[in-house]
Structure 1
Amino acid sequence: MTSPRATGLATIGLLAVTAVWGSTFVLIKDVVGRMSVVDFLAVRFAIAAVVMLVLFARPVLRLGWPQLVRGLGLGVLYGFAQWLQTEGLSLTSPSVSGFVTGMYVVFTPLLAWALLGQRMPAVTWVAVALATIGLAVLALHGFEVDLGVWLTLASAALYGLHIIGLSRWSRPGEAFGMSAVQMVGIATVSLCSTLPHGPSLPPDNAAWIAVLYMALVAGAGAMLVQTWAQAHLPATRAAIVMTTEPVFAAGFAVVLGYDALTLRMAIGGLMVLAAMYLVELMPRRKGEPSAETLHHEV
């Protein structure tokens, strides 16, 4: 039984992690303007993988071969999702990228229905329609959608696949080990994408600070806090907290001068956010199963 104090601390911790994730959209946008996407991802995830292997060496060694293979496979999938998301962010605004990335919450039950035959609540179809209209408001320029939006949408679909795989293969007590192994898979994909020359290092001190922040604070550190927090929170409360990530992303983008707050952004973003809440909260209220919400950032 979790105490109210632990629940409150876990909520604050998870909210802080979500704010950190939201801040990364602006940071990544700045860094990939000065170094290539593949180099940025390779350096970031190589550092994060080394740190997590050092921290979680024992949990990794306790994993059996099937779990090691599954963890690496999920990491590879996640690595491709990260690449698509970051390439997309280099071509679109941080606020739009944040809201489009949040579509993984809508994609997850759709993919579970299509691939696993899981029953999908009727409200999910309403959420899909609402999210589609919201994305159109956010991203359409006439009758065209930027390539960055399409790439980010594809990454959201891969994040949905990752959530489904993790929900089927993760086991109690293996979270730290599986997280570290997945990070190795992500780093492998990122490093391979820089071949044959290998990754180039960040060009200046500011880029190094951003990469280290992404690797250590938004990566390894955030995963530690998230894992602890979600052990003390009901899934519904965690879902509510984590769906604020696009709001933080847009907020940082506006405050730091990367985007201007427009009526179009507000309306489109609210529609996408409403769709995310519908998918996560309505099935639970009715006693129906809902896709487990796990975050895409590592």
Structure 2
Amino acid sequence: MSEKTENSVLARFASPLIVLATIIWGSSFVVMKSSVNVLPTFWLLAIRFSFAAIVLAVVFWKRWKLLDRQYLVGGTVMGLCLFVAYAFQTFGLEQTTSGKNAFFTAVYCVIVPFLYWAIARRRPDRYNVLAAFLCIAGIALVSVTGENATAFNMGDVLTLIGGFFFACHIVAVSKYSEGRDIFLLTTLQFASFAIFSWIGALFASPAPDPAAFDSSLIFGLAYLVIFASCGALLFQNIGQKYTAPSTAAVLLSLEAPFGVFFSILFADERPTPLMFVGFALIFIAVVCSETKFSFLRKKG
């Protein structure tokens, strides 16, 4: 397949791939919750992304001929941002519910315009500011309802920090993917992510008990490697490269409701009515930030 034909095919399926990625991520919150209860965080991330990098490196081995310094820089920056984001998200997941973890992570969609302001000097408009206040209100409702009715627990705070670095990752992907092969760049991203994770695992976390690797954990890890990493993250990078930013951001925000859906379906979580109001406000904030409610205005 020629490069032009490949780009045409990827562009055609970019939006459906992003939606598929959000479905996979929504289900992966439950898998991550069970896996993080068994493996130390850094060990879980190191194992997951080491195997993910190996899988992509083998599948796309012909693309290694494109490797140069810019690919190494881009892959390392993307991997570092994603590593920090996942580390905070996973540490947060140890102390909060998978449903709340899914929604707080989605806040990155609102943060992105402000990051672009800092980097590209493009000031956010009134819709971005409105979205920020809607998001804060939604977070407040979610965090003060349910069994753990406190302003913020540490798991929520860590997850929000992770959301900020997910926004950094989105900015990095937009910057480094332009004019470059997204498959090689994603492989290098996974490889650098794995290296950072192993450093954390060796110096900050005790080695897991070999007996912990039972069939249930191995199945969970396989799901995270093949679907949540090789599949979903690659789909996200493709989507960002070939889909308009506003469309991609709104589609990526579907991760949050899918996360709650799978938490209710498989993890026996029971969100309260006020929590649902908070979730709705966060979703509206994402839509406001990325579409500016253009679909509500009459076309001239």
TM-score bracket, shorter-length normalisation: 0.7 to 0.9
Q: Give the drift of 1:139.
A: 1.2
Gaps of at least 5 residues in structure 2 are none
**TM-score, normalised relative to structure 2:** 0.85
Closer/same/farther in 2, CA of residues 58 and 251 from structure 1, 3 Å limit? same
Which piece of structure 1 moves more, 21-30 or 52-61? 52-61
> 2:20 aligns to what SS in structure 1?
helix
Higher fraction of helix: 2
**One-letter amino acid matched to 1:176:** F
Q: 1:194 is paired with a residue of what secondary structure?
A: helix
Aligned residue in 1 for 2:24: 20
Deviation per CA, 1:69-118: give whole Å up to 9, x if none. 22112212211111110010111011111110000001111122234321
Structure 2 CA distance for aligned equivalents of residues 168 and 14 of structure 1: 19
Which contiguous aligned blocks of 4+ residues in structure 1 show a shift greater than 6 angstroms?
A: 5-8, 283-286
- Shift of the 60–258 alpha-carbon distance from structure 1 to 2, 3 Å rule, reads farther
CA distance in structure 2 between the partners assigned to 1:137 and 1:49 by the alignment? 39
TM-score normalized by the length of structure 1: 0.85
- Spell out, residue by residue over 1:42-92, the C-alpha distance to the aligned partner (whole angstroms, 9 max, x if none): 111111011111122332430321231221122122111111100101110
2:70 to 29, 49, 66: 66
Deviations 1:179-199 (A, max 9, x none): 111111111111111115885
SS in 2 for 1:193: helix
Change over 3 Å in CA distance of 1:6–1:82 after alignment to 2: closer
1:60–1:180 Cα contact (<8 Å) kept: no
Which residue of the partner structure matches residue 41 of structure 2?
A: 37
Secondary structure of residue in 1 paired with 2:201: coil
Percent identity reads 26
Aligned residues: 284
8 Å CA contact retained: 1:85, 1:101: yes
Q: Does residue 79 of structure 1 match 2:83?
A: yes
Is 1:93 equivalent to 2:103 in the alignment? Answer: no
Aligned residue among 177, 182, 193 for 2:200: 193
The answer to whether the aligner puts 1:161 opposite 2:165 as a matched pair is: no
Cα contact 1:191–1:198 (8 A) shared by 2: no
State the one-letter code of the partner of 1:269.
F
Q: 1:114 matched to which residue of 2?
A: 118
**In structure 2, distance between residues paired with 1:117 and 1:258:** 45
Q: Structure 1 residues 189 and 242 mapped into 2: Cα distance closer, same or farther (>3 Å)?
A: same
Aligned to 1:238: 248
Asked if 1:151 corresponds to 2:158, the answer is: yes
